[in-house]
Amino acid sequence: MLEQGTKAPDFTLMDQQGQSVSLSDFRGQKVVLYFYPRDNTPGCTKQACAFASVWEQFQQLGVPVLGVSKDSVASHQKFAEKYQLPFILLSDPELTVLNAYGVWQEKKLYGKVSMGVVRSTYLISEEGLIEKVWPKVKPEQNAGEILEWLRKEE
């Protein structure tokens, strides 16, 4: 995983509307970039709904939220519609961004080893540097932890 103070790798991915979104589009504002394993799974749904429930607070702080997984644009669109997610979901089927941010890792579940996304969140500064890293986050606590951090900075 990338460390605090590192330059955040720029990228361009498709969002749930099929629009091209680049990290550099948000230069000049902080960005929450969160990585999650899969749409419509219990933990990922809890995490996305937690971000949605405090979305207005992120907007008031001027901080966009970008969720990234390897799911397709169509999957993201259904996920966003089903749970009325107001933020951007980005599709990374080639694992380009997942690898660049070091979140595509070996995981062990019930003794079985496989590759997958380690649920992690990065706060990227106005200058495009990694300001804070939350590795292996708890889905229902992640959004609140970030808001708490952002408020301490004000």
Look at residue 153 in the predicted model and tell me its pLDDT: 80
Tell me the C-alpha distance between 84 and 89, whole Å.
Answer: 12
Active site (catalytic) residues = 44
Q: What is the mean pLDDT of the chain?
A: 96
Mean pLDDT value across residues 62-81: 98
CA-to-CA separations, 49 to 20, 33, 106, 142, 146, in angstroms, rounded: 24, 15, 26, 11, 15
Q: How confident is the model at residue 80 (pLDDT cuts 50, 70, 90)?
A: very high
What pTM, to 2 d.p., does this model score? Answer: 0.96
Q: How confident is the model at residue 43 (pLDDT cuts 50, 70, 90)?
A: very high
Nearest to 67 by CA among 83, 84, 44: 44
Q: How confident is the model at residue 20 (pLDDT cuts 50, 70, 90)?
A: very high
Q: How confident is the model at residue 108 (pLDDT cuts 50, 70, 90)?
A: confident
Look at residue 154 in the predicted model and tell me its pLDDT: 73
